[in-house]
Structure 1
Amino acid sequence: MMLEQALAIAEVPAGPDRTDGAPEDSEETVVRGTVTVDAGDPFLAGHYPGFPLVPGFSLVQYVHDLVTGAAAVPPENPAVVRKARFLSPVRPGEEIVIEARVGRDAKGVHTTATVSANARPAAEIRLDHPQENL
């Protein structure tokens, strides 16, 4: 199954009680997606033989793909990775859940995401899509 098919996007507007420091003129949305990585995924071949793990790059890519679909950002536009903190290994076959707060303001699109695998924290990722690239 392709990643684009696996990520199910559900938009939920953020409430008026935001405490994230976002400017009042920014638009913010919460999006959620899930994906299960197939053990046959070619990215797993060398990561690691006999003990396959989903590469951290793949988790960042899943967040990027979710955000570009939800925020109408062209997927080919580059993102700036502000933070990528990996909290636990992710193995093929585990359900990966991504929940992201996506904000848009005059400077671009900003994302703060949490990634979990089988209900345990797996990563914290922050991405920016600067306005000059949109």
Structure 2
Amino acid sequence: MRVLNKQRKSYSRALLGMGWVLRPVVIASALLSSTAASADGLDTAYFLAMQPYAVLKRASVACGKPIEEHVAYKQRMLDILRGVPDIDIRAASRDIEKAYQTDADLGGLDCTDGLKDRYKQIIGRGVDRDLEYLAEEVRNRQQRSQ
């Protein structure tokens, strides 16, 4: 499974000067628009599922939110990914942590209003949404490989 970390690095410097309110939206749209045409549904679902983890972990580290949230989220994500034939779970785990590190590098480790807002949005819409999409794409991959 291809990971989209390379595109993140090229945008990190350009995004540092943006305002806190629009930054999460701009980051997501910039990263998604830079996705290679060869990315399949599983790559996209994997990338999207990493974003809530990064916010949950940042909120835990910076704002004192419950650590169990991001730990449980990552475990559920890895459990879903185990359904992908020939996946390297250790590499996937490292990639998920890199998503957090990228988010932390861009936004810092301070408990800002922007981080609190992102956290509230993720909790409000439900952390399961992105995991359900990932699970659906894993099932699709499994069906195609049969």
Do both share a fold (TM > 0.5)?
no
Q: Which has the higher helix share?
A: 2
Query: Which has the higher relative contact order, 1 or 2, with Cα contacts under 8 A spaced 6 or more apart?
Result: 2
TM-score (norm 1): 0.30
Q: Which has the higher strand share?
A: 1
